[in-house]
Amino acid sequence: MQRVKALIKARHSFQTLRFLSHQRCFSAQPNYAPYHDFQDQVLVEGRAKSRAAILNRPFALNSLTTSMASRLKKLYESWEENPDIGFVIMKGNGRAFCSGVDAVALYHLLNEGKVEDCKRFFETLYKFVYLQGTYLKPHVAILDGITMGCGGGVSLPGMFHFVTDKTVFAHPEAQLGFHPGSGASFYLSHLPGYLGECLALTGEKLNGAEMIACGLATHYCLNARLSWVEECLGNMMNDDPTVIESSLAQYGDLVHPDRSSILHRIETIDKCFCHDTIEEIIDSLENEAAGAYDDWCRTVLRKMKEASPLSLKVTLRSIREGRFQSLDQCLAREYRMSLAAISKQVSNDFSEGVRARLVDKDFAPKWDPPRVEEVSKDMVEYYFTPLGELEPELLLPTALREPCI
């Protein structure tokens, strides 16, 4: 407890040292692969009036690396400035759109002491998400397949989100000892009722029809008809958003969530996840499960109890703050939270969660602290404390891209 308080106090003290003009020095790019492989991880398709970025790590479910985020950012910046390109498409190669960050790569970097490389990854990724959220040209994200974690962050801030019967959307970060980032606290907090809290804390999945119903997606079609949609987009010569929207709608299917959908439990979700603390949410779910003999409540309870207790508390506060913040404010805060998670100053839960679920796969993480009741306010506060001069904040070009703010 005293150590955490001292860390928070140290951060505040750094903010007062204005005479320290310290610029962050990033180490060389992580040697994941030879340089030519970096470009192969994000392919480009040229169309008559558009460009398509294709995430191309199917063996890793298109999980994002620093080089991929950097290449996406450079491509999107160049396409935005090119008057011959009217709109942009993003899709994934294989059975996933994007399964999130390459958590295993980050795990190994941390074990090798390459913390600066991890910081660079989050900085690059979050800057790209902000570019996506303020992009000046129409954007079509084709979320066909697994879309988890930052897969939502690199796609949902754009204009159009096309889903299929193969789409699986989820935010399982708390089960990995992390928190939903890449703008997730912005778009999850704007979902109906307390659905965002439920998804973030439990890692519950949504399918394409459910994403349409709750507003996360704009268009839906069967995977079997997706090639028609892509052909239509490839031949399109008009970049008017209304024309793109109507063209996508031509191939759209009218769908509704099935009877087992989580969306039919929205009253229970609002009743249980409206509370101010994780302890109260768990108590409410336990009461609901006992009173109604509800298997769904038991399932989400189990998922929450399998998650990192610290991550649960950090995630709940993040979603609640996101409800009253803009995208750039959410990204700046999530960047602080991400750096706190990889610093291991308060807890080693991120590395432990990745080890248990993705590396050793013993599915028996040793969380620190091990129980929700042992997570102190100071531990949570550390994740939200502004960074000091020795650790610059995430700098986003809001004045350039959003001059009206």
Question: Region 174-199: what's the mean pLDDT?
Answer: 97
pLDDT value at position 363? Answer: 95
pLDDT value at position 25? Answer: 31
Question: Region 73-101: what's the mean pLDDT?
Answer: 96
pLDDT value at position 290? Answer: 86
Please choose, from the candidates 382, 371, 366, 139, the residue with its C-alpha nearest in 3D space to the C-alpha of residue 248: 139
pLDDT value at position 29? Answer: 36
pLDDT value at position 405? Answer: 55
pLDDT tens per residue, range 190-241: 999 999 999 999 999 999 999 999 999 999 999 999 999 999 999 999 899 9
Instruction: Evaluate if residue 2 carries a pLDDT over 70.
Output: no
Distances (CA, A) of 330 to 76, 324, 326, 394: 21, 9, 6, 11
pLDDT value at position 37? Answer: 65
pLDDT tens per residue, range 55-70: 999 999 999 999 999 9
Confidence class for position 48, pLDDT limits 50, 70, 90 = confident
Give the position of tokens 């290449």. Answer: 71
Instruction: Evaluate if residue 397 carries a pLDDT over 70.
Output: yes
Among the ranges given (108-122, 261-275, 286-300, 326-340), the one the predictor scored with the smallest mean pLDDT:
286-300
pLDDT value at position 1? Answer: 52
CATH code at 42-253+261-383: 3.90.226.10
Cα torsion angle, 326, 330, 331, 336, sign: positive
CA–CA separation, 237 and 254 (whole Å)? 26
CA–CA separation, 62 and 316 (whole Å)? 28
pLDDT value at position 113? Answer: 94
Question: Region 379-395: what's the mean pLDDT?
Answer: 91
Instruction: Evaluate if residue 22 carries a pLDDT over 50.
Output: no
Q: In whole angstroms, what separates CA 177 from the centre of its chain?
A: 14
403: left (phi over 0), alpha (psi -120 to 50) or beta: alpha
Distances (CA, A) of 240 to 89, 101, 237: 14, 33, 9
Instruction: Evaluate if residue 18 carries a pLDDT over 90.
Output: no
Instruction: Evaluate if residue 4 carries a pLDDT over 70.
Output: no
Domain ranges of the chain: 42-253+261-383
Q: What is the mean pLDDT of the chain?
A: 90
Ordered DSSP codes for 309-323 = HHHHHHHHHHHHHHT
Question: Region 298-311: what's the mean pLDDT?
Answer: 96
